[in-house]
Amino acid sequence: MNILRTITLAIPVIFTWLLMINCSKKNTPVVQETPNPTNRIEKLLQEMTLEEKIGQMTQYNGFWDATGPVPNGGDAKWKYDHLRSGKVGAVLNVSGVENVRKMQEVAVKESRLGIPLLFGLDVIHGHKTVSPIPLAESASWDLEAIKESARMAAIEASARGINWTFAPMVDISRDARWGRVMEGGGEDPYLGSQIGKARVQGFQGADLSAHNTIAATAKHLAGYGFSESGRDYNTVDVGTSTLYNVILPPFKACVDAGVSSVMNSFNTLNGIPATGNHFLQRDLLNGRWDFNGFVVSDWGSIKEMIDHGHAADLEDATIKAANAGSNMDMESYAYVNHLKKAVEEGKVKMEVIDDAVRRILNIKEQLGLFDDPYRYCDAAREKELPNHKDHHATALDIARKSIVLLKNNKNNLPLSTSQKSIAVIGPLASDKNSPLGSWRFGSDDNTAISVLEGLDAQNISYKYEKGAELVTAKTSFLEEVKVNETDKSGFDAAIKLAKESEVVIMVLGEHGFQSGEGRSRTKLDFPGVQQELLEAVHAVNPNIILVVMSGRPLVLTWAEENLPAIVQSWQLGTQSGHAITDVLMGNYNPSGKLPMTFPRSVGQIPIYYNALKTGRPGPIDLVFWSHYIDESNAPLYPFGYGLSYTNFKYSNLKTTHQAVDQANFVKVTVTLKNTGKRAGREVAQLYIRDLVASIARPVKELKGFQLVDLDANESKTIEFTLHKDDLSFYDNEGKLIFEPGKFEFFVGGDSNASLQESLVIE
């Protein structure tokens, strides 16, 4: 009886005790072991004081970007003291060999342990030589060219002292209103993953310690591309299935490709800021994905947890961010001021600090900085490599491949050199700045080849009228662009020129700083008076070839309905004008395909091809199906779409499969023929649909693509092989699962691909 009573009494005690263990486990950050720390790093860790460790976890914005004497006044003075006392592990926005060397010297020679600094910069698309914006490059679907472009950027940036880039941005986005779509790979997780991986490989090369490779950063973990209503920094609210199947795969692909760092994001996920998100940073990234690198916060994102209402003050934010796995503080001044106390009070464990520092030092070691802190400080390389003429060839190659031909109904393109009179109209035709796009810190203003210069270089005779200014003032990366909404004084001359000409090339679109960070728009039209100009010119000469320069998909519905030819040229970087001229004149047969759906109207956004079917897909005779009463559901141009100066025909689609656990268990073959009169490149795309699943699957999902070059009349059989994982999906616990059943396979030149076969896979 007594024993029974003792047991009965003990049960609640044991239960409470178990509960406590469980809770304390929950509160204890799961610190995964950093793989292979070298002896040097372990030894260093043992020697470091807590302040020095926290120093490695701190990144300051450049306070020393001018050559000259050591800064000793104002803001720079205390930062300089911190540098000397080992309280800084990395800086950003300092470049140029002389600046970098001087700062590195302070860290290496004047600080107690002489640990070299990381020098980070947003090297997003090229450096001095500017490549097309990432969204444009993604339209090439050419992974080798994309990798090459990132290589070139790494070569140039590393020659200017940079050893770490905050790229690639792999945020999937379905919302063209969001200005940062220009910086990513578009809307599709498969394409986005391939591109992210190619960029990481390009930046980091085969050997991170080489003097011409730099550490890459996959950003922003996670969900930032889903900012509500496309407004930058806005709340994000995504479902679990979308998170696992759409948002996370490109990050996982970068981790698998060995990316050195990951940047967290400004937004919350399920109410928890990404910066303080244990699930994203520790459970997923360090845990399930076995990530070896370190996590850097986004600019001030630790501090912003206070504004989010997740942290009471900077001390609280510090504790939450550090415990959740934000290893380095970019510009919140949180760790430097509050982490020591938090550790001393036991609110952040020493193992959390050691883990972060180990991860950061590992990357420094991999970069070769311990062996030679000045590895990236070679004045001769700095003189030779940025803006190297070989890089212009690389930039031109990817620029041509990025152009998407949207319409060419009457074969107005390519233009013939015997054309009697060509008018060029539009503010962007002479613009040497906008084609450089946003995020181009290493470049000099006005260094792009304009469309006019491109035409000149090929001796094409034309007459030019600007028609209207796009903006009213010179603008910078930090400022809002001021658009000309009223001045139409140039219209008359443009109209007169159009009247007298056989064909009109109109170059319209967005200013280079109308997309990028903080540049969200509600209207996706041509800013200012440009649409009016277009319609006024059209009234006197409808034979218009429209060249659209933009950092995002615009709504081109009027143009599609009224003009014979449209070329989407995005912002193509340094070689812009040459690439556009090559396409207009037919020296290059366009092959780009859209990495993002182009809407018919802003109200359709978010619009994307890999949507779920809904329970009322329609159409039915009654009104009660999923549609708009004033617009079609269809996009203007679907994902994957793009024309060529030749035509391609797909036929003979066949699918076979082996047992599920065979390596390439599904084979899809198709015959592709160039039925036109000139050689061309087609991006053949394979989509699947999993018809019935425990978690509903999209109507189509891209699972493969191939770049196929064909001469006129040539045909080829192309083969896609799929692995079991390609037919699997993530369940709501984040587990990749395969469910047997019926699958459909579609092959074609865009996401409307209708050539279809199906297989039942047991």
Q: Which residues are catalytic?
A: 298
CA distance 83 to 100: 13
**E strands along 675-737, which residues?**
680-690, 701-710, 715-722, 729-730, 736-737
In the complex with ligand NOJ, which residue's Cβ is closer, 57 or 559?
Answer: 57
Q: What minimum distance in Å lies between the beta carbon of 332 and ligand NOJ?
A: 12
Q: What minimum distance in Å lies between the beta carbon of 180 and ligand NOJ?
A: 8
In the complex with ligand NOJ, which residue's Cβ is closer, 62 or 638?
Answer: 62
Q: Give the footprint of ligand NOJ on residues 567-586 (CB under 6 A).
A: none
Residues in the interface with ligand NOJ (CB under 6 A) total 7
Q: What minimum distance in Å lies between the beta carbon of 517 and ligand NOJ?
A: 6
Q: Which helix (H) or strand (E) holds 666?
A: strand 666-674
In the complex with ligand NOJ, which residue's Cβ is closer, 92 or 159?
Answer: 92
Q: Extract the tokens encoding 339.
A: 């982490």
In the complex with ligand NOJ, which residue's Cβ is closer, 551 or 749?
Answer: 551
Q: What minimum distance in Å lies between the beta carbon of 182 and ligand NOJ?
A: 12
Q: Measured between alpha carbons, how far is residue 238 from residues 193, 235, 248 in Å? A: 19, 10, 12
Residue 299 interacts with ligand NOJ (CB under 6 A): yes or no: yes
Give me the helices (H) in 205-349, please.
240-242, 249-256, 278, 304-307, 314-324, 335-344
Q: Which helix (H) or strand (E) holds 648?
A: strand 648-657
Q: Extract the tokens encoding 740.
A: 């047997």
Q: What minimum distance in Å lies between the beta carbon of 197 and ligand NOJ?
A: 19
Q: What minimum distance in Å lies between the beta carbon of 211 and ligand NOJ?
A: 23
CA distance 112 to 222: 37
In the complex with ligand NOJ, which residue's Cβ is closer, 92 or 471?
Answer: 92
In the complex with ligand NOJ, which residue's Cβ is closer, 267 or 569?
Answer: 267
Sheet containing 58-61: order of strands:
164-165, 118-121, 90-92, 58-61, 329-330
Looking up tokens 């600007």, which residue turns up? 466
CA distance 715 to 731: 40
> Partners of 759 in the beta sheet?
743
Q: Measured between alpha carbons, how far is residue 198 from residues 216, 347, 573, 628, 750 in Å? A: 11, 40, 19, 39, 22
For 430, other C-beta atoms within 10 Å of its C-beta total: 15
3-state secondary structure 151-174: HHHHHHHHCCCCCEECCCECCCCC
Counts of helices then strands in the chain (DSSP H, E)? 22, 25
Q: Which of 197, 219, 519, 521 binds ligand NOJ (CB under 6 A)?
A: 219
Half-sphere exposure of 67 (CA within 13 A, CB side): 4
Q: Provide the 3-class DSSP secondary structure of residue 364.
A: helix
Q: Which helix (H) or strand (E) holds 743?
A: strand 741-748
Q: Which helix (H) or strand (E) holds 507?
A: strand 503-509
Q: What minimum distance in Å lies between the beta carbon of 122 and ligand NOJ?
A: 5
Q: Give the footprint of ligand NOJ on residues 316-345 (CB under 6 A).
A: none
Residue whose beta carbon is closest to ligand NOJ: 166
In the complex with ligand NOJ, which residue's Cβ is closer, 299 or 746?
Answer: 299
Residue 232 interacts with ligand NOJ (CB under 6 A): yes or no: no
Residue 166 interacts with ligand NOJ (CB under 6 A): yes or no: yes
Half-sphere exposure of 454 (CA within 13 A, CB side): 31
Q: Which of 52, 142, 148, 298 binds ligand NOJ (CB under 6 A)?
A: 298
Site string for ligand NOJ, 174-213 (x = CB under 6 A): ----------------------------------------
Q: What minimum distance in Å lies between the beta carbon of 336 and ligand NOJ?
A: 18
Residue 517 interacts with ligand NOJ (CB under 6 A): yes or no: yes
Site string for ligand NOJ, 473-512 (x = CB under 6 A): ----------------------------------------
In the complex with ligand NOJ, which residue's Cβ is closer, 298 or 510?
Answer: 298
> Partners of 507 in the beta sheet?
547
Q: What minimum distance in Å lies between the beta carbon of 301 and ligand NOJ?
A: 8
Half-sphere exposure of 406 (CA within 13 A, CB side): 32
Site string for ligand NOJ, 414-453 (x = CB under 6 A): ----------------------------------------
CA distance 541 to 50: 73
Q: Give the footprint of ligand NOJ on residues 692-751 (CB under 6 A).
A: none
In the complex with ligand NOJ, which residue's Cβ is closer, 253 or 274?
Answer: 274
Q: What minimum distance in Å lies between the beta carbon of 184 and ligand NOJ?
A: 11
Residue 171 interacts with ligand NOJ (CB under 6 A): yes or no: no
In the complex with ligand NOJ, which residue's Cβ is closer, 217 or 589?
Answer: 217
Q: Give the footprint of ligand NOJ on residues 86-145 (CB under 6 A).
A: 92, 122
409 contact partners, CB below 8 Å, separation of at least 6: 564, 565
Q: Which residues bind ligand NOJ (CB under 6 A)?
A: 92, 122, 166, 219, 298-299, 517
